[in-house]
Amino acid sequence: MHRPISDQSGGGKGGKGSKGGFRQGRSFEAPIGGFPKQVANTQASNTQAANTQAANTGGSKPEGAEGAPKQRKFKERKKGFTVLELLIVIGIIVILASLVLAVSSSVARASEERATRNTLQVLDLATEEFERTVDRRATYRSAIVTGGIAADPISVPGSSPAIPYKYDIDSAAGAPPAGSGVPVWTSLPQPYSSVTAGLPAYSSLPFRRTALLIAAMAETPSVAPILQKLPEAIFRGIKQSATSPIPTAVRHAVDAWDTPIIAVFPGREATSAEVLANNPNIVDKDGTVKCDSEWGSAASGGMQLSCKDRRILWVSAGNDSRFHDVPVGTTYKPSSDNLYSYEP
């Protein structure tokens, strides 16, 4: 919608012209809001006024007001890490390190157990070959066992003159192997000379008996090549002390934790009278009499377990290097991490 205006050459009431007369001017319409130049000037004035008002009052610009936006000033951040970021990074590193250590420890433990089981299998094969060569079971003379089990006889009962029994290993293990150059057991270090605080066992007897068995097998031509399959770090001579440069001729086999492996011997074959008595506290399921190597007290070298099928059982003390758990009262039990040539 437009409003009419008159284009007049002169002003004044009545529209008086330069010649004193009146003339009809041209009539035209102006757009609502004024001419463009006028609108632009008006908007600029309004914007300037709004900016001035906002600056004076500290308030925001009125709605619809336009103008150049103010640039925000950000506080420049200093280079580096905050304490929180450092703590998070350290925590992640600790977690990753613990996971790596746990995995590597588990892998190392599995590798050590695998190597020890291989050693036990070789010793078991050597024992079988030894018994095959002598065409009989390895014989062991047991001492008295608590519970009414008598010691094995030294000679054939009723023989005159006395006919001695031939035992491969005696419970007492009185002297080191003949020809070894070691006169007495006390010439060797622990656990052959003595034991302390039940480590690795509560008696030196199991280690002495095992050394005698290994010596007997090593002297058998068909068995020696089997034992030689074991690495020198595993099957080696016993040094008289840690500083001795040359080992003795007394040999032993050690596990991955450098603890000597021991042999547990089955008892003698039960007599017909003992079998008929059917006393489980005396006769085992395999028909042998319980012996001190199996069920004797810890002080006499008993492991508190039974051999199977009249077979010698080879035992490693495992990672804790302890054949027995700490006793509860007078009760001794094999350590839970022991490793065996077969399951007893």
248: enclosing H helix or E strand: none
Beta strands at 313-316 and 339-340: parallel, antiparallel or unpaired: antiparallel
110-120 average pLDDT score: 95
In a domain, 201, yes or no: yes
Using one digit for the tens of pLDDT, what is the confidence trace for 138-177? 999 999 998 889 999 999 888 888 899 889 999 999 999 9
pLDDT of residue 105 exceeding 60: yes
Tokens of 12: 């004044």
pLDDT tier, 66 (very low <50, low <70, confident <90, very high otherwise): low
**Nearest 5°: phi and psi at 265?**
-100, 140
pLDDT of residue 200 exceeding 80: yes
In a domain, 227, yes or no: yes
pLDDT, position 51: 57
The CA-CA-CA angle for residues 113, 119, 125, to 5°, reads: 135
Q: What is the number of structural domains in the chain?
A: 1
Q: Percent of the chain, pLDDT > 90?
A: 57
pLDDT tier, 85 (very low <50, low <70, confident <90, very high otherwise): confident
In a domain, 32, yes or no: no
In a domain, 286, yes or no: yes
For residues 143 and 169, the answer to whether their CB atoms sit within 8 Å is no
pLDDT, position 6: 46
Q: How many helices (H) and strands (E) does the chain have?
A: 6, 9
pLDDT, position 101: 84
3-class DSSP state of 23: coil
Domain that holds residue 126: 100-340
For residues 179 and 249, the answer to whether their CB atoms sit within 8 Å is yes
User: Which carries the bigger pLDDT value, residue 68 or residue 84?
Assistant: 84
In a domain, 65, yes or no: no
Peptide bond into 200 cis (omega under 30): yes
In a domain, 40, yes or no: no
The structure's pTM equals: 0.71
In a domain, 62, yes or no: no
In a domain, 5, yes or no: no
270: enclosing H helix or E strand: none
Beta strands at 235-237 and 26-30: parallel, antiparallel or unpaired: unpaired
Using one digit for the tens of pLDDT, what is the confidence trace for 28-61? 455 555 555 454 455 555 555 555 555 555 544 4
pLDDT, position 48: 59
User: Which carries the bigger pLDDT value, residue 210 or residue 64?
Assistant: 210
